[in-house]
Amino acid sequence: MRALVVFLLAIGFVSRSIAQSDDHAVRVEKQLLQEGVVRLVITSDHLSESTVVLTATLENMDSSVAMPFILELKGVGSRELCVFKIHDPSQSWHYKYHFEWKYGLRGGHPDPDAVYRLPYQDNEYHVVMQGNRGAFSHQAGSINEFAYDFAMPIGSTVCAARGGVVIGVRQDSDVGGSDEKFKLSDNYVLVRHSDGTYAEYIHLKKNGALVALGDTVAAGQPIGLSGVTGHTTGPHLHFAVFRLVDKPGGFERQSLPVRVRTKAVVLDELKQGNTY
């Protein structure tokens, strides 16, 4: 699962090819308003809360915002990100910009008393095929250091592990696999909790969202149907909790451990290979 998407663009140059199934939930487009005046427009399709950092290298151009520019994007749709304007009209001009975005807004403070449910129905049991610090894609120090992959048949009902507000829904992808090229092809539901942390429910099936942006969901409420979209070796649900924190020049995703109430007991950690 990616949580960092990097775009590097310059005039006439796009740094990566774009497959149809890729999720560019947050994207920037440039508009040449007149010779030497460029407007960057940012659009969010599947996310109502995301954070963006923009940097730029400008030659003979001024920016309408100071760099690095950090923007909290709330709601879907398009808005102006900034304008680059020629400084000396008698000279040539050039610009290059770079932006990164991540799910969610900064400022979460994890509630130490929060207890999560298993993210599926009470009468079901599923095996943890990869747990915290798992070697495949939950490595220590990574953005998914604390995350669980529950093996489950396609179409299994995914339930909110904790209540909150839905801030991300994507369900238009129909492809997935173990190849890295599928990293941006995952369907998902994202939920913001009352403490400003977020949960992600990833790899849902096409049209597998049972909630919409802005919905308030209760713990245990069905929110989606599992699938095998995105970067995955087989049908499973990826579940992780995180927050965004500041760092010099920007922000980063911090993976958070969670306590989980299983059928029998509250556990600080679920073990890879165990069924709950």
Q: Indicate the length of the chain as a whole number.
A: 276
C-beta of residue 103 within 8 angstroms of C-beta of residue 144: no
Options 84-92, 97-105, 115-123, 237-245: segment touching Zn ion (CB under 5 A): 237-245
Compute the least distance from the CB of residue 130 to Zn ion, in Å.
6
Cβ atoms within 10 A of the Cβ of 86, count? Answer: 20
**x/- site string to Zn ion, residues 93 to 122, per CB under 5 A?**
------------------------------
Determine, following the binding rule CB under 5 A, whether residue 238 of this chain makes contact with Zn ion.
yes
Which of the residues 118 through 157 are near Zn ion (CB under 5 A)? Answer: 147, 149
State the minimum distance, in angstroms, from the CB of residue 236 to Zn ion. Answer: 8
CB nearer to Zn ion: pick between 128 and 147: 147
Cβ contacts of 238 within 8 Å, gap of 6 or more = 1, 144, 147, 148, 149, 200, 201, 202, 203, 232
Q: Which region among 55-63, 192-200, 204-212, 236-244 touches Zn ion (by CB under 5 A)? A: 236-244
Contacts of 144 (CB under 8 A, 6+ apart): 1, 3, 137, 138, 238, 240, 255
| Least Cβ distance, residue 17 to Zn ion (angstroms) | 25
Q: Between residues 98 and 203, which has the closer beta carbon with respect to Zn ion? A: 203
Residue 138, judged by CB atoms within 10 A of its CB (0-12, 13-18, 19+), counts as: buried
Which residues sit at the interface with Zn ion, rule CB under 5 A?
147, 149, 238
